[in-house]
Amino acid sequence: MIELVIESAPPSLNRLMRYHWRKRVKVMDQWRRLIWAARCQVSGSPMVPLKKARITVERRSPGQLDKDNLYGSMKVVLDGLKSQQFIKDDSPDHIELTVTQIRGKARTTIQVESIS
């Protein structure tokens, strides 16, 4: 299992969809870089994408999101994991996703583990 810690919380789906397309692209790129930087901090990250992975994300932020916004906010995280080749694809055939949220200072903890 690999654990990535990012000292930021992804924007909610509502916020992400209201951004101008250029700002949305910048946010997506920012999360790709954050995941890359977090990957550089851990040892044992896979060199090839996992064909099937269990991804557990804990999102900390001052406010609480409803369930659809919470899972929708993971788009930037999953796209970042895919671009950094942690996972082969973000479809249900390739990942099992669990997302929780806690009130607190903005922080995202991502755990990625291979499953059969």
Which domains are assigned to the chain? 2-114 (3.30.1330.70)
pLDDT band at 101 (very low <50, low <70, confident <90, very high): very high
pLDDT of residue 43: 75
Strand 53-61 versus strand 107-114 pairing type? antiparallel
Q: Find out whether 45 and 3 touch, Cβ atoms under 8 Å.
A: no
The tens digit of pLDDT for each residue in 34-71 reads 999 999 888 776 678 999 999 999 999 999 999 999 99
Q: pLDDT band at residue 116, thresholds of 50, 70 and 90?
A: confident
pLDDT band at 110 (very low <50, low <70, confident <90, very high): very high
- Spatial distance between the Cα atoms of 63 and 104, rounded to a whole number of angstroms: 8
